[in-house]
Amino acid sequence: MRNNKQENGPDLKPLSTSKEWKLLYYQHGRPGLEEGKKFKGLCNYCDLKSLCGLPKPEIGVWRCEHYRAKIWKKSGLHENVLRLLEKAQEINNFDRDICKIMAETMNELVVHFPVKMDDGHIKMLTGYRVQHNNVLGPFKGGLRFHPMVDIDEIRALATMMTWKTAIVNIPFGGAKGGIHIDPSEFSPKELEKITRRFTFALGNNIGPDYDIPAPDVNTNPQIMAWIQDTYMSTIAPNERNRCIHVVTGKPIESGGSVGREKATGQGVVFLIEKWAEDHGFSLKGATYIVQGFGNVGSWAGRLMKMNGSKLIAVEDVTGAIKNEEGIDPDYLAMYVKEHGGVVNYPKAQAINHEIFFSTKADIFIPAALENAITRNTAELLNVKLVAEGANGPTDEEGDKILQRKKIHVIPDILCNSGGVIVSYFEWLQNKRSEFWELDEIDNKLKKIIVSAYERVRNTAVKHKIDWRTAAQIVAMSRLEMVYKERGIFP
C-alpha cells in the first residue's frame, strides 16, 4: 500500500463509511488545508454524495477526507511539471539560471468576489489567473470552471501553456485561470453573473495585448462572449472595438474564428494521422477509445471517424459505454448535448471505469482532466498509442508504465496545441479585421502542428528519450534562446 505520509504530506486515514464524516474546514476555498481543524458533519462535494447530504454551510466550504484525498493526489501536478523541466535540464544541459526563471510563475492573482444568486442571497466565490511567462508574447491560456480548481492546478497549467506556445512557435506566453465552482449547481443567469463579476475582478490584469483567456473545461464560446462584453464595457467607448480580441474562442458573430471550436480535436487528429503515416499504420478500421466527450473529446472522436476508424468505448463524468461494433461519434455528440453525458446512450452497453481502461483498442484519446492515467489505469491500458487531448492526463507513475509497456505517447503540450494555434489565428484576424476561410485555417494549423511534431520526434531520436521529455526540450530550447539574446534587465 502506498505510503501517503511520505508522498502526500499528512497521513490520509482510510475512508470511513460512517455517516458521521470527519470534515476539514477549508476556509472560503482558499488554497491550503488547515491541518488540525476538524469538524463533524456531512460533505456535499465528494463522490459519496448519496452518503452525505447536509446543505452546504453559508460561509466556508466543507470537504470530507475522501475529497481531501483527491486534492492531495491532484496537487502533485505543478511538482510533476517542474520535475519534467529538471529532467530536460539534465539531458540538454540548459542554463540553470534560465531554468530557475522558468520554474516560477510571474504573477498569481486570486480574487474573492460576491455574486447575487437567483434567490437573492450572496455567494462568495474564488477565481484564479496565473501568468507564468510572457517572454515570447502576451500571456495566453484557458479558463476553467470546476470544483477541483485550485492554485496548484492553475499554476501547473499556466506553466504548460508557456511550453505549448514555445513548441509550436507562436508569439504567446503562458497563463491559465479558473473559478472554483461546480457550474452544474448554477442557473444560466447565475453563470453569466459569475463570469461577468470574475471578469470585473480581473480588471486590467487581462487585455487584448496583455493576457488573452480562452475556453477550457466547462467554459465555452458563450462564456467568452460574456467576458468580452464585460471587459469592453469597462473601456472608453472610442477604444472598445479595438479590444474584441481580449478573448479567443468567441462565437463567430462576436469575432470568433471558423475552425476554433474543433481546433484542439482537429490538432489531435492531424497528429494521430502523422503518427500513423510514420509507423505505416492504417487508420482505416483502427479502433479508438475516448475519455471525455466535451469539446476536445467529441471533436477528436468525430474527426477520427473521417479516417474510417471505429470508436468502441467512451467515458465521461456521467459513466462509461462500450460497443465493439462501433459507436457513431456524431450521434453520440448530439446525445451528449441533449442529455449532458454518455450515460444511458441506447446503442452501447454501460461499463465501469476498469472495463473502459481495459478495452483493447489501437488508440486512446484522454480528453477529460489531469491524472487519468495513473499506476492503476496505465496497467490496464491495452492500446498502441495515447494521444493526449487533455492537459496533464498522465501522472508520473502512469507515464513510467506506458514507457515500460512501449505504448507510444503524443504528449499533451504538443498534442492539444491545436486550440492555442487557432486562437492565435483568431487573434490575428481580429487585429487585422480579416476573416479567414476554414480551408486556410486547417491548412495553416496542420503545417504548424506537424512541424512541431517533427521537431519533437527528431529531438526524441537524437537524445534517445521519450517524447514527453523531448517536447519539453524543444520548448525550453526556444525559451532559453530568447532569454540569452535579450539578457536579464537591468
CB of 389 to ligand NAD, least distance (A): 5
419 counts as binding ligand NAD under rule CB under 6 A:
yes
CB of 201 to ligand NAD, least distance (A): 22
368 counts as binding ligand NAD under rule CB under 6 A:
yes
CB of 426 to ligand NAD, least distance (A): 11
C-alpha cell at 174: 503562458
217 counts as binding ligand NAD under rule CB under 6 A:
yes
- Of 243, 317, 343, 465, the residue at the interface with ligand NAD (CB under 6 A) is 317
Q: Are the C-beta atoms of 219 and 177 separated by less than 8 Å?
A: no
CB of 490 to ligand NAD, least distance (A): 37
295 counts as binding ligand NAD under rule CB under 6 A:
yes
Is residue 108 classed as helix, strand or coil in its secondary structure? Answer: strand
| Nearest residue (beta carbon) to ligand NAD | 294
- Minimum CB distance to ligand NAD smaller for 60 or for 341: 341
**Contacting ligand NAD within 275-294 (CB under 6 A):** 291-294
As a whole number of angstroms, the distance between CA 250 and CA 427 comes to 10
How many residues lie near ligand NAD (CB under 6 A)? 24
- Of 166, 227, 304, 390, the residue at the interface with ligand NAD (CB under 6 A) is 390
C-alpha cell at 153: 492546478
413 counts as binding ligand NAD under rule CB under 6 A:
no
Enumerate long-range contacts of 89-97, CB under 8 Å, 24 or more apart.
Answer: 89/476, 91/463, 91/465, 91/469, 91/473, 92/463, 92/473, 92/476, 92/477, 94/476, 94/477, 94/480, 95/480, 95/483, 95/484
296 counts as binding ligand NAD under rule CB under 6 A:
yes
DSSP letter at 382 equals B
- Minimum CB distance to ligand NAD smaller for 262 or for 478: 262
Written in H, E and C, the secondary structure of 323-366 is CCCCCCHHHHHHHHHHHCCCCCCCCCEEECHHHHHHCECCEEEE
CB of 127 to ligand NAD, least distance (A): 17
Q: Are the C-beta atoms of 194 and 118 separated by less than 8 Å?
A: no
Q: Compute the radius of gyration of the chain from its Cα atoms.
A: 22
371 counts as binding ligand NAD under rule CB under 6 A:
no
316 counts as binding ligand NAD under rule CB under 6 A:
yes
- Of 195, 257, 264, 377, the residue at the interface with ligand NAD (CB under 6 A) is 264
- Minimum CB distance to ligand NAD smaller for 329 or for 419: 419
- Minimum CB distance to ligand NAD smaller for 127 or for 294: 294
CB of 302 to ligand NAD, least distance (A): 13
411 counts as binding ligand NAD under rule CB under 6 A:
no
As a whole number of angstroms, the distance between CA 208 and CA 192 comes to 21
257 counts as binding ligand NAD under rule CB under 6 A:
no
User: Which residues lie below 8 Å from residue 259, measured CB to CB, with a gap of 6+?
Assistant: 266, 422, 425, 438, 441, 442, 445
* Omega prior to 138 cis, within 30 of 0: no
329 counts as binding ligand NAD under rule CB under 6 A:
no
- CA separation (Å) from 34 to 23, 28, 88, 155, 249? 11, 12, 35, 21, 38
Please give the angle made by the CA atoms of 195, 422 and 75, to the nearest 5 degrees: 55
- Of 131, 134, 165, 218, the residue at the interface with ligand NAD (CB under 6 A) is 218
Tell me the window of 10-18, 54-62, 111-119, 315-323 that interacts with ligand NAD (CB under 6 A).
315-323
Active-site residue among 140, 164, 176, 250?
A: 176
Biggest CA–CA distance in the chain, Å, is 65
CB of 168 to ligand NAD, least distance (A): 12
- CA separation (Å) from 221 to 2, 216, 252, 260, 423? 42, 10, 9, 10, 12
Q: Is 176 noted as a catalytic residue in this protein? A: yes
C-alpha cell at 2: 502506498
How many helices (H) and strands (E) in the chain?
17, 15
256 counts as binding ligand NAD under rule CB under 6 A:
no
Beta bridge partners of 123: 115
Q: Are the C-beta atoms of 164 and 237 separated by less than 8 Å?
A: no
Binding-residue pattern over the window 86 to 115 for ligand NAD, x denoting contact by CB under 6 A: ------------------------------
215 counts as binding ligand NAD under rule CB under 6 A:
yes
Q: Are the C-beta atoms of 329 and 291 separated by less than 8 Å?
A: no
223 counts as binding ligand NAD under rule CB under 6 A:
no
Residue 370 has φ and ψ, to the nearest 5°, of -75, 165
CB of 147 to ligand NAD, least distance (A): 10
416 counts as binding ligand NAD under rule CB under 6 A:
yes
Tell me the window of 41-49, 61-69, 128-136, 385-393 that interacts with ligand NAD (CB under 6 A).
385-393
- Minimum CB distance to ligand NAD smaller for 367 or for 470: 367
CB of 406 to ligand NAD, least distance (A): 25
Q: Are the C-beta atoms of 63 and 24 separated by less than 8 Å?
A: yes
Residues making contact with ligand NAD (CB under 6 A): 215-218, 264, 291-297, 315-317, 341, 367-369, 389-391, 416, 419
Residues involved in catalysis: 176
